[in-house]
Amino acid sequence: MIVRINDILDEVTSFNPDADCRLVEKAYVFSASVHQGQIRLSGEPYLYHPLEVALMIAQMRLDAVAVAAALLHDTVEDSLTTVADIEREFGQEVAVVVDGLTKIGKMHFRSREEHQAENYRKMILAMSKDIRVLLIKLIDRLHNMRTLEYHKRPSQIRIAQETLDIYAPLANRLGIHWLQIELQELSLKYLDPEGYATLKAKLDAITRAKEGYLESIVEQIRAKLIEIDHPDAEVSWRIKHIFSVYQKLVRQGIPLENVYDVLGVRIKMNTVAECYEMLGIIHSLWKPIQARIKDFIAMPKENFYQSLHTTVFGPEGERIEFQIRTFEMDYIANEGIAAHWRYKEGDSRIDGDGEQLAWLRQLLEWQKELSDPKEFLQSVKIDLYPDDVYVFTPQGDVKRFPLGSTPLDFAYSIHTELGHQCSGAKINGQIVPLKYKLKSGDVVTIMRAPSQHPSKDWLRIAKTSRARAKIKGWIRQQEHEQSVTLGRDILDKRIRALHLKEVDLEQLAHQQHFKTVEDLCVALAYGRVSVNQVLSPYLPEEPKKEAEKVKEAPVRRDTPGGITVRGVGNLMVRYAHCCRPIPGDEAVGFITRGRGVTVHRAGCAYIADAEAERLVPVQWDAVPAMTHEIEFSISCEDKPGMLSAITSVIGAQEVNITKMKANQLPNHTSLCVFKVMVHNLKELDELFVKLKQVKGVKRIERAQAGGQGSKG
């Protein structure tokens, strides 16, 4: 059925007769004009999409501003219309919502992941100003998922996965149950079409087979409700949702026959006391499964979901899950924040929604320091999924954490300094390691020591975004302070060596395009700028010329014909003594504070755990003119003339020996260690081939970091 503007207006006025219908009508006319001639992949006029979105927003009982913004949500992205145009025509409030809904389509990003991360970041920031941004965004995604069949298969997979990873969890966090379920099931339909169709057919068959059985359970409960004088309570049955069953099958690797909570009964009561009374009655009728009793009334989920859950052995041994809640809890369980939220003039911010969106305020705070797109996306996904662990402070306050959280997460949730100084923890009175995984019901006590500080190892332990962000922030601050100290030391030593007395450091920093002397010192520590380059105004003529050469050259080398650091200029290049790379080796550059870039062989043990941001790609020159010293060892028979034969082969290859050492080993074996000068890997390989032909040579190994070698 085609949605018309009158359908939307009727819906708006049905719950708010005083709504600003003129604003909605004006938005419709504007949207129709802007989208005129545009066609969706389905072949329908594009206007059908904003009309569908606006109707669903009205059905969620949001205000006229939200409905108008829904009609206009694609006008800025898909036409020449600007946010300023929207503000001029419809006012600042509508413009703020539309701006929050507009993707960052005109900016250039290095990857799809970075683009996606920035879109989410913008959406989250917009949500902090107005929650209607998120509600419209979710409905927009729902309608796009309902029409996903018209996209090509790769697009279907990408959009469905994004919906499952981000939008469905967002709907869950907002407590909008019906929306979460439909987004999950539509995503599954496109991500695993065959699995979805098979499972749906099986669940439909179970529904038909168990309908009579469940009706008899419902009638038995209704009779009991009349007996205890609660005739107005409501009872209904259902089969578990497709996505929930699918998840259980995949996670546990079990057949459908072994999923015991497919059948469910929901009971709605008037008061909380009646809910607990009903729980007792259910347990008196059928034997409960102890591990499956959950009290979300006393301890609501973070999206404010409340209900009593219990699974029992019903008639014929069937397992049945009962959900018992009040009518109000049931309404909130389905509509979530849309049930709570009431528009107030000038107060549509998150702060106006109390604890309902506390998680979002925390998310905004925790993401401030996460600039890496990949890390940001991962953190958002972690924060969006429902909390599974409930633990207690020593005072009895309840804290919620993602599954897998540790005492570090608990400490940082209390206070940043407590986290920084966390030296250990007691769980239920027993000392546990920091990597201990919290369990529901644990009483957590944090032990602190002023001398304790965060370390990089903590990043492997912490689970929550807040803890990880605080740990990284502390480490960055320490590294920054160390870099400032190191850079200043480099600068001061050079100033003393030149016998300079009055040096204007601020002026030097500005000349090198740094805002502060501190920034200049950091650059010196990382080798991004040389000390001669910085002090060039004070240098004699010859050193000054050298500094100018450094400034102009894309990269500095030890000698001509070495290696180039791709994409990074003005860096001094050194070769690692641990693994001794030569042209032809797969190599990587490591930014060393105060010493430019050190080139290592790929796989060198000394850079195995290096920070990714300190590793840079390098490229060997096409014509290597310089020689490199490398070290290798030869295991050979311990007999006269052996060493002479080996050195003769090396000399015949015109390879210069810089150092040599021989040791006798048991079993009539000798170990000879050589340091030689070669141009590249090809030359070294040719030498090894010749050496292996010497009678009595057993094994050749090229030395590298960590005591390992490459066998020849």
Residue 160 sits at φ, ψ, to 5 deg, of -65, -40
The candidate with the shortest Cα–Cα distance to 188, out of 151, 229, 160, is: 160
Q: What is the DSSP string of 514-552?
A: -SSHHHHHHHHHTTSS-HHHHTGGGS-HHHHHHHHHHHH
Distance of CA 624 to CAs 563, 576, 590, Å?
9, 17, 21
C-alpha R_g of the chain: 34
- Measure the CA–CA gap between 470 and 634, rounded to whole angstroms: 51
Please classify residue 469 by burial: count the beta carbons closer than 10 Å to its beta carbon, then call 0-12 exposed, 13-18 middle and 19+ buried: buried
Amino acid identity at 589: G
Residue 611 CB coordination number (10 Å): 12
| Angstrom distance (rounded) from CA 677 to CA 364 | 57
Catalytic residue among 7, 77, 162, 548: 77
Instruction: Evaluate whether 532 touches 550 at the Cβ level (below 8 Å).
Output: yes
d(CA 552, CA 570): 8
- Mapped onto helix, strand or coil, the DSSP state of residue 238 is strand
| The residue to which tokens 């290049």 are assigned | 573
Q: DSSP for 472-492, please give it.
A: HHHHHHHHHHHHHHHHHHHHH
Phi, psi angles (nearest 5°) of residue 219: -65, -35
**Cα 561 from Cα 579, distance rounded (Å):** 20
Structure tokens at 581: 């790379």
**Cα pseudo-dihedral 427, 428, 431, 436, rounded to 10:** -30
Among 151, 284, 301, smallest CA distance to 228 is for 284
Is 130 a residue of the active site? no
3-class secondary structure per residue, 426-446: EECCEEECCCCCCCCCCEEEE
Q: Is 77 one of the catalytic residues?
A: yes
Cβ contacts of 158 within 8 Å, gap of 6 or more: none
**What is the rounded distance in angstroms from the CA atom of residue 402 to the CA atom of residue 464?**
7
Residue from 78, 165, 277, 489 carrying the catalytic annotation: 78
Cα(707)–Cα(268) distance, rounded to whole angstroms? 70
Task: Give the integer Cα–Cα distance in Å for 139 and 183.
Answer: 10
Alpha helices in 147-192 (DSSP H): 153-162, 168-173, 177-191
C-alpha to C-alpha distance for 391 and 615, rounded to whole angstroms = 40
Q: Find tokens 């009579």 and name the residue.
A: 212
How many helices (H) and strands (E) in the chain? 28, 22
Packing angle of the helix pair 112-129, 358-366 (nearest 10 deg): 130
Residue type, 74: D
Are 389 and 440 a contacting pair, CB within 8 Å?
A: yes
Per-residue HEC secondary structure of 299-320 comes to CCCCCCCCCEEEEEECHHHCEE
Instruction: Please give the C-alpha separations between residue 295 and each of 248, 275, 324, in angstroms, as whole numbers.
Output: 21, 11, 10
Residue spans of alpha helices (H) in 228-269: 242-252
d(CA 451, CA 86): 56
221, two tokens? 């409960």
Give the catalytic positions in this structure.
Answer: 77-78
